[in-house]
Amino acid sequence: MTSCLSVVRLARRMIERVVLGRRFGAHVELDRTTFVARSAALRVVQGGSIRIAGACDILDGCMILTYGGDIRIGSRCNIQPYCVIYGNGGVELGEGVLVGPHVAIVANNHTVDDPASFILEQPMSCRGVVIGDDVWIGAGARILDGVTVGRGAVVAAGAVVTRSVPERAIVAGVPARIIRHRGGVAPAPESGGIAGRGCSADR
């Protein structure tokens, strides 16, 4: 009886992989406990891959596009409707990340150093974005290339984050600035950052 159940479970997993593979492609890996709305788009563009852990919700109208980078989303993340994630330089979301509606996480940036050339002809910067565990990103916020958001931080609605955010910090504004820390005490600073990655191609 146990062996029969094991065979049935294995068959179900194989069918699920085939169905997901047809819907999203070979380089998109989803845990079977994760929900993806039918109107959400998970696409591998110009290489890269997408991996989403268990118990996540990817809701209506979300666009998660690799553009040559790898996108990793940890378990128990909730991504609200109409969010956009561009993975050019790599995007990593930790566990239990809350992403409000209409958030944009963009892991690339245009360079504008040469005024004699069209911006679209100039090289792109792709340093990547890392979001730690237990982060809340409010509606309409923008997380830009090269940013790390520390564990337990809060990004207020509408904020534009251009610099890394320490653990447990609450940031707001354009550009985003620290307004206070959760618990009232700033944690000790840690060294480290995001290693630069090259862009595979412009989008």
Residues with catalytic roles: 110
Any idea which residue has 């690339």 for tokens? 108
Determine how many CB atoms are found less than 10 A away from the CB of residue 196: 11
How far apart are the C-alpha atoms of 29 and 177, rounded to whole Å? 35
How far apart are the C-alpha atoms of 43 and 36, rounded to whole Å? 13
How far apart are the C-alpha atoms of 19 and 17, rounded to whole Å? 5
Q: What contacts 196, CB < 8 A, 6 or more positions away? A: 89, 126, 127, 128
